[in-house]
Amino acid sequence: MRKFTIKEHEGNCLCGAVHFVASGDPVVVAQCHCVECKKTSGTGHTTGAMYSLDSVQITGAISKYSYVAANGNNVTKAFCPVCSSPVYGTNSGNTEHLTIAVGCMEDIAEFTPEVVIFSDNKPHWDLIDPDLPAFAKQPNWKPENEA
Ligand SMILES: [Zn+2]
Ligand SMILES: [Zn+2]
């Protein structure tokens, strides 16, 4: 009998001090153009893969920075204290999940964005797939249909 296995996605920060393994497919892959994501990414957006907390294992020391987002939620950005690569983010409005920085994924090509948020804040030169659903601000959306 064949054993069912869930695909694991591995990732590292730039220096390798932080390593993570995410099990299975993400709940959603979102591209965010909010003011804070532009600053932490150093460019026009972040791309994040949302996973439930229990499907991600992270090893290595992490530094965190928290702020209050426009909708009042507390958002925490976690990054490597050595190389400052963004690793993941959490949001007080959705405590069951975290969002991994897709740029740290080894198989980044598998994480195609499915939705765009804060499209109002998108610089005109940051081109996105025009067929993607886009929300001008943060949509009032929570993952509820998880297996
Ligand atoms: Zn690092
Ligand atoms: Zn954002």
Distance of CA 101 from the midpoint of ligand 1 (Å): 13
Distance of CA 60 from the midpoint of ligand 1 (Å): 9
Ligand at shortest distance from the CA of 35:
2
CA distance 29 to 8: 16
What is the model's pLDDT at position 70?
84
Distance of CA 37 from the midpoint of ligand 2 (Å): 4
The count of domains in the chain is: 1
113 inside domain: yes
What is the model's pLDDT at position 143?
65
Distance of CA 78 from the midpoint of ligand 1 (Å): 11
SS3 label, residue 130: coil
Ion ligand 1: residue ranges with CB closer than 5 A = 13, 15, 17, 80, 82-83
Which of 111, 93, 96 shows the shortest CA–CA distance to 11? 111
What is the model's pLDDT at position 3?
67
Distance of CA 47 from the midpoint of ligand 2 (Å): 9
18 inside domain: yes
Residue with tokens 């994040």: 48
Q: What is the mean pLDDT of residues 73-80?
A: 96
Distance of CA 45 from the midpoint of ligand 2 (Å): 7
2 inside domain: no
pLDDT digits (tens, 9 = 90+) for 32-51: 999 999 999 999 999 999 99
147 inside domain: no
CA distance 53 to 37: 21
Residue with tokens 């958002």: 75
Domain hosting 116: range is 8-135
What is the model's pLDDT at position 39?
95
pTM, two decimals, is 0.90
Give the amino acid at 64: K
Query: Please, which pLDDT band fits residue 5 given cuts at 50, 70 and 90?
Result: confident
34 inside domain: yes
CA–CA distances in Å: residue 71 to residues 67, 92, 108, 137: 11, 11, 30, 10
- Which residues are CB-contacts of 90 (< 8 A; sequence separation ≥ 6)? 75, 76, 78, 97, 98, 99
Rg (CA), the chain: 15
Q: What is the mean pLDDT of residues 53-67?
A: 97
Question: CATH code at 99?
Answer: 2.170.150.70
CA distance 83 to 16: 9
Q: What is the mean pLDDT of residues 58-64?
A: 98
pLDDT digits (tens, 9 = 90+) for 84-139: 999 999 999 999 999 999 999 999 999 999 999 999 999 999 998 889 999 998 87
